[in-house]
Chain A
């Protein structure tokens, strides 16, 4: 159950994962104007990792994630969500008022909602793959 081990899924997962992750970043960044956003993007990224998990198992996925523990992703996500509150505070505006800045050279709209959205992305990603990995590890521990 833990991993399929079939060649087709393994090959597909190896190629699909980077594509899915790039797509998730794409969805995340365009989310404010077009369909997308942090929640959907987080789910897509979680789907990417889940596919990889199903194909190669927990330890191989942990190697891909290197030092990053899904639980840390949850923490960083929540932190970013809270951090996005701070600028409005300094401007003397009510809690969670959006702040917008334009970065001159590349004409990129940076904003607190974007930081917030990245926080959502990471929290969703961390939560889902944390749960999936925990469930799969339980399977593996069984004799």
Chain B
């Protein structure tokens, strides 16, 4: 199974090629992948529901205890099915929506890669795997938001989404590491099976704060919600898939996953309930400000995400039932509504609902789909959304802490949501016809199948909640979230109770709000200046501050003068190493002066050439004298019987001199020589560096921190590595990984040099190119 999921990445990479073969039918071919995975998940469902979680193990880095293990329990099954089924719908839809788009292949690539990452995220059992897939969804989301990369707004939004989710990702990583350390395990299954209670661990509070930051940024909770509406710059299929049905629920998934181990404390209940309820109300309130149909839906998604967080915070059995039911209901109707919004945008050429009207006769199927999905969003019986909303009210009424706050927020949120639902379902399709940029007609079949299917689901699950195994699936998922077995039986009618009264009143008020929406919006516009000071302004300020700061420190530190870089590096080295030598190891100067005559000569040559290099006014002279020093070092190596090092030093020195000459030859004469003050400064730094290195060598020589490994290498190079040249055996066998890394560094440096020199001299027009190639051929003869 892991293999099948990972094959999705291969399929994503092949998408551009498939597009060349299948052209317009590519989306259908690609849709087979989520379709097949969904079929497999369905086939596993009875086993998971009846016999408990299934664990699919695959060792990945056994020495570190990291495995690519998939955990299939009720929760991951529910999420996996949402991802694959809605993924299939969205792929088919995207084939119609983006038909003829020049970059459609790139779109398929990113969308498939996202799908696989998201599947991996919800199926992962290991904390490390979970984190990797988590970050992959952020990256692919970035690519998809910025799909129309020629558009400045899209690029900006993509970056914003990336920054916010990556900042949260860093916190998440810290949180997961703390979780791993606290539980001494990197697997969700093991953590769940643990005896000790993580809530009493010393790391509980910091760990929870980090995990919550990760989840809240990903799932657009207040005050990090601002990136989600901006992410609507993405093509509509992406909005339907990533930014309503799947990716933004990753944070919710994580919270639900960890709720049995970490939930229930006053910190958990307080933060989740209050943040969730605030997000709910803020999302719903901001939604009615907007006339852009995608923004409306985005804010209503924020409202839904807030609801889910709030329900997890409440944590009662009712809340868990409401959580899974609302999750399923929301994914279905919101996915459908986004695709309806895409149809409207695609056919009319505008996203402004106030600019549309009377489209029902022209787009009858879309209108019906929109009506069904919006009724579910509003929570009107007998649709599935109604059950979700009833349970939500019940859960809020049954909350322990913050009960009245949650009930009021949930009620107000519901009123506003109903208005949003009415705006989307009624405004574009009824009333008088408006002139739109494009002459509207019904969307093609491929753009009706996906949303149609989801809407039919909303109706069918609502009318017969007992059928289709929905009860069993949700029971299994809710049990996984609460950590203990539960039994759910959904039904449309729970009798006349407070929740039902709230539903009816909210319906009436919501419809009233819809009636006077234009007036309300006009009045709310006085709030606009306050809106601009929201969290997004804080994000912008932070970003600008960072740019100003990095400009400042770049000007100071990276001023482009090589001598300053070297000076700074040497001073830092002197400070750090000198500090360590003087304070931690008293420098040892025990040595005997048993030197031979030829050694004195070699060292004398080195000293002389170094001195000459500092006083000469000719660059060439300096290069040559530095070269002499290098050759003397090679001589030292040979004298102390290290032929390999000696040869290497000689060769490197030769080539360095050649390269230096080639570079320095092109420089003009010195324009000015350093002043005496600068010379004193440079001289003292150089002298200190020299003394430091001297002390370092002397100290290192006389300290035995640990046993030398050279004996091992000498003894084993012939029997184990079949080589008598230990230096080479170290390079290509013992330390081959290091060498491999160095090869890449060398190659990168060379490519950097070549690119830097070549790009500057790239011919600008064909004529100059011809000229330069002409001079190429003449060159050998004219010197």
Residues of B within 8 A of A77 (CB): 743, 747
| Residues of chain A within 8 A of B732, CB atoms compared | 32, 37-38, 113, 116-117, 120
Asked if B56 is an interface residue, CB under 8 A from chain A, the answer is no
- Which residues in window 733-771 of B have CB below 8 A to A? 733, 736-737, 739-740, 743-744, 746-747, 749-751, 753-754, 757-758, 760-761
Bound form: Cα–Cα A134–B761 in Å: 10
Across the interface, A81 reaches (CB within 8 A) one of B721, B743, B776, namely: B743
**Closest chain A CB from B706 CB (angstroms):** 24
Q: Give A119 to B741 CA distance when docked, in angstroms.
A: 12
Binds A, one of B185-193, B472-480, B651-659, B669-677: B651-659
Enumerate A102-121 residues with CB–CB distance to B below 8 Å. 109, 111, 113, 116-117, 119-120
Residue of A nearest to B746 (CB): A127
Q: Is the CB of B779 within 8 A of A57?
A: yes
Complex partner residue of B751 from A58, A74, A96, CB under 8 angstroms: A74
Nearest residue, chain B, Cβ from A32: B723
**Contacts A96-B736, A116-B739, A127-B747; A32 near B655 (Cβ below 8 A):** no
A21 within 8 A of B: no
Contact of A37 among B655, B727, B758, B777 (CB under 8 A): B727
CB-contact partner of B776 in A5, A59, A135, under 8 A: A59
- Say whether A139 contacts B747, CB under 8 Å: no
Nearest-neighbor residue (CB-CB) of A82 within chain B: B740
Report whether B655 and A135 are in contact in the complex, using a CB–CB cutoff of 8 Å.
Answer: no
Chain B min CB distance to A110 (Å): 11
Q: Name the CB-closest residue of A to B647.
A: A40
Whether a CB of chain A sits under 8 angstroms from the CB of B662 is yes
B724 → chain A closest CB, angstroms: 4
Contacts of A40 in B (CB 8 A): 644, 647-648, 651
B residues near A111, Cβ cutoff 8 Å: 722
Chain B residues, Cβ within 8 Å of A109 = 722
**Contact indicator per residue, chain B 771-783, by CB within 8 Å of chain A (1) or not (0):** 0100111011001
Q: Is the CB of A131 within 8 A of B659?
A: yes
- Whether A33 contacts B725 in the complex (CB less than 8 A), given A2-B783, A56-B780, A116-B736, comes out as yes
Complex interface: chain A residues within 8 A of B665 (CB): 1, 139
CA distance A119 to B732 in the complex (A): 10
Residue of B nearest to A53 (CB): B658
Contact B749 A47 (CB under 8 A): no
A120→B740 CA distance, assembly (Å): 8
- CB-CB under 8 A from B648, the residues of chain A are 39-40, 43
Please tell me if the beta carbons of A39 and B737 are within 8 angstroms of each other in the complex.
no
Q: Is the CB of A100 within 8 A of B722?
A: yes
Selected from A43, A84, A120, the residue in CB contact (under 8 A) with B651 is A43
CB pair B728–A3 under 8 Å, yes or no, is no
Q: Is B466 an interface residue (CB 8 A)?
A: no
Q: Is the CB of A126 within 8 A of B662?
A: no
The interface residues of chain B lying within 8 Å CB-to-CB of A135 are 659, 662-663, 753, 757
Contacting pair B772 A32 (CB below 8 A): no
Bin the interface of chain A by size. 35 or more
Which residue of the partner chain A has the closest CB to B724? A33
A34 to B647 Cα, complex, angstroms: 12
User: Any chain B CB within 8 A of the CB of A36?
Assistant: yes
> Which of A39, A47, A131, A141 has a CB less than 8 Å from the CB of B750?
A131
A9 at the interface (CB under 8 A from B): no
| B666 CB–A CB distance under 8 Å | yes
CB distance from B669 to the nearest CB of A (A): 16
Query: When the two chains form their complex, are residues B725 and A132 in contact, meaning their CB atoms are under 8 A apart?
Result: no
**B737–A132 contact, CB under 8 A?**
no
Q: Is B643 an interface residue (CB 8 A)?
A: yes
In the assembly, what is the distance between CA of A75 and CA of B749, in Å?
A: 13
Interface status of A123 (Cβ within 8 A of chain B): yes
Q: How far is the CA of A37 from the CA of B647 in the complex (A)?
A: 11
Beta-carbon contact of A36 and B725 below 8 Å: yes
Q: When chains A and B are docked, how far (Å) is the Cα of A39 from the Cα of B730?
A: 12
Separation of A74 and B659 alpha carbons in the complex (Å): 18
CB neighbours of B777 from chain A (8 A) = 59
Bound complex: CA of A59 vs CA of B643, how far in Å?
Answer: 36
A31 sits at the interface (CB 8 A): yes
Which of A34, A56, A84, A113 is within 8 Å of B721, CB to CB?
A113
CB–CB B758/A134 < 8 A: yes
Is B731 in contact with chain A by the CB < 8 A criterion?
A: yes
B122 at the interface (CB under 8 A from A): no
- Residues of A near B654 (CB, < 8 A) are 47
Q: Is A95 an interface residue (CB 8 A)?
A: yes
B762 → A minimal CB distance (Å)? 11
A35-B647, A40-B644, A131-B659 are known; give 12 further A-B pairs, CB within 8 A: A2-B779, A31-B725, A34-B725, A47-B651, A50-B658, A59-B779, A113-B721, A116-B732, A120-B739, A127-B749, A127-B750, A135-B663
Residues of B participating in the A interface, judged by any CB pair closer than 8 Å = 643-644, 647-648, 651-652, 654-655, 658-659, 662-663, 665-666, 721-725, 727-729, 731-733, 736-737, 739-740, 743-744, 746-747, 749-751, 753-754, 757-758, 760-761, 772, 775-777, 779-780, 783
3 closest A-B pairs by CB: A127-B750, A43-B651, A32-B723
Q: List 5 A-B contacts (CB under 8 A).
A: A32-B728, A36-B644, A46-B655, A47-B654, A127-B750
